[in-house]
Amino acid sequence: MKFISTRDVTYQQDFETALFHGLAPDGGLYIPSEFPHLSTDILQAKEITLPQLGYAIMAAFLAEIPDTDLQRIINNALNFAIPLVPLYDNLFLLEVFHGPTLAFKDVGARFMANMLSYFLLKKQARVSILVATSGDTGSAIAHAFHRIPAVDVYILYPSKKITRLQEQQMTTLGDNIHAIEILGTFDDCQKLVKSALLDTALKEKKSLSTANSINISRLLPQIIYHSFGMVQLKQMGNDLAPLLSVPSGNFGNLTSALYAERIGFPVKHIIAATNANAIVPHYLKTGVFTPSPSKQTFSNAMDVGNPSNFERLLAFYHNDYQQISTAITGVSISDDATLAEIQTTYKKTGYILDPHAAVGVAAAKLASQNKTDPIIVTATAHPAKFPEVIRRALQFDIDIPESLQAAMDKPKQAILMEPNMDTFRQLLLNKSDVRA
């Protein structure tokens, strides 16, 4: 299978090249050149595990990777449960937050880390991954790449502008994970990473890359959890095609839901659930795409004013607004409605929704017209990651899971740095690679 640029269908690359490029040279995003159709034994399977399904789906896209290698990569990447949990009569939560950093970004980050390492070991090469983070991406990347052979990771984060929990999650691992605390803003971090990737003096000495969310290797494995949600629905005896309500920011989560439908899983309808950053819902209603500065909300991992996967959405529907707006309904949920949903759901069921899943549930209730169709909402994060929002909604402190508490208790290791390119270049050149 080849991967093409959203801006040029004639530009074709294999998966390995697309993985190492991140962005296509023309500035477009890599997308599959075609979509495989899964066999009915997989689509109708009553007894299939998450790794088995993951393997069947990824093998259909990545035939170039030998079976045993792909199997091992998937087993390493998906080493946690992704259960479908009934919430209300016909509304189900797909809990994609049982990975090491308790958010669904673990799926893409872990798959990418294992893929990258696989190709590097084959080539006997090493790479240094640079990441700028405003919080959550950094911890998912840090955990995914920790002790991954042939990869060193440098995570730049703005000093005092992320939560203590987020900071502890990326500064306490050590080994091949280097946290760099920048005395500046997230934009300063991003500028340093961009400058380093273009720096000729650095390029001569080091192989540098990045692990940002537009990488196709983070998008593809997300097809697996959407599919596994639908498999579990069938296993529960529900044979109706579900609506999928997908909490969205950069729209990778939603794009991979569309891909799950395209490879054969029956989907009734897709709901794009956003917070006040309603760029895509606005586009779906009006046909006008107006990116704007992001607004801060309680579901802050979805505070995105210019969704990077919008280009993939358009490409998927060949720029046909009629098709997109028929297939997807956009719903924007305010902070007040998010809090209200956390309260209502807790009162009715005892379940504590994280603010992102709450946006998904509230949107699902607004958008579903008939009460018999099942709805699957992607629950993208564990509520304990957002204790302030939960306290505000429910007036109590949520229990912190053991894995998070363990990170809170470990000593922080970070290099404090001014946002200065010369200092950063020296740091990268002087740092001897850590052998993992």
Site string for ligand PLP, 18-57 (x = CB under 6 A): ----------------------------------------
* Farthest CA pair distance, the chain: 62
Least distance from ligand PLP to the Cβ atom of residue 382, Å: 9
Cβ(142)–Cβ(110) below 8 Å: no
Q: Which amino acid belongs to residue 432?
A: S
Q: Smaller CB distance to ligand PLP: residue 267 or 280?
A: 280
What's the CA gap between 353 and 198, in Å, rounded?
Answer: 42
Query: Which one among 193, 380, 407, 424 touches ligand PLP, defined by CB under 6 A?
Result: 380
User: Residue 107 has which token pair?
Assistant: 């799926």
Pairing of strands 91-95, 84-88: antiparallel
Q: Describe the crossing of helices 355-367 and 335-349 by its angle, rounded to 10 degrees.
A: 90
103 binding ligand PLP? (CB under 6 A): yes
Q: Based on C-alpha coordinates, what's the Rg of the chain?
A: 21
Handedness of CA 64, 68, 69, 71 (dihedral sign): positive
What's the CA gap between 94 and 225, in Å, rounded?
Answer: 8
What's the CA gap between 377 and 182, in Å, rounded?
Answer: 36
**Binding region for ligand PLP (CB under 6 A) out of 46-54, 196-204, 247-255, 389-397:** 247-255
Place of tokens 């803003």: 185
Site string for ligand PLP, 142-161 (x = CB under 6 A): --------------------
Of 393, 394, 389, 397, the residue nearest 302 (C-alpha)? 389
Q: Smaller CB distance to ligand PLP: residue 249 or 374?
A: 249
**Binding region for ligand PLP (CB under 6 A) out of 81-89, 200-208, 249-257, 338-346:** 249-257
User: Residue 345 has which token pair?
Assistant: 């759901």
**Binding region for ligand PLP (CB under 6 A) out of 76-84, 126-134, 196-204, 246-254:** 246-254
Q: Smaller CB distance to ligand PLP: residue 117 or 299?
A: 299
Least distance from ligand PLP to the Cβ atom of residue 250, Å: 3
User: Residue 93 has which token pair?
Assistant: 């939560």
5 binding ligand PLP? (CB under 6 A): no
What's the CA gap between 355 and 360, in Å, rounded?
Answer: 9
Least distance from ligand PLP to the Cβ atom of residue 415, Å: 26
Query: Which one among 92, 251, 310, 424 touches ligand PLP, defined by CB under 6 A?
Result: 251
Site string for ligand PLP, 289-318 (x = CB under 6 A): ------------xx----------------
**Binding region for ligand PLP (CB under 6 A) out of 111-119, 154-162, 194-202, 251-259:** 251-259
177 binding ligand PLP? (CB under 6 A): no
Query: Which one among 248, 329, 332, 345 touches ligand PLP, defined by CB under 6 A?
Result: 248
| Terminal C-alpha separation, the chain | 32
Cβ(354)–Cβ(381) below 8 Å: yes
User: Residue 428 has which token pair?
Assistant: 């990268």
253 binding ligand PLP? (CB under 6 A): yes
252 binding ligand PLP? (CB under 6 A): yes
Instruction: List C-alpha distances in Å: 56 to 3, 43, 64, 219.
Output: 19, 10, 14, 16
What's the CA gap between 195 and 424, in Å, rounded?
Answer: 10
Site string for ligand PLP, 195-234 (x = CB under 6 A): ----------------------------------------
Give me the residues that bind ligand PLP (CB under 6 A), please: 103, 105, 136, 247-253, 301-302, 356, 380-381
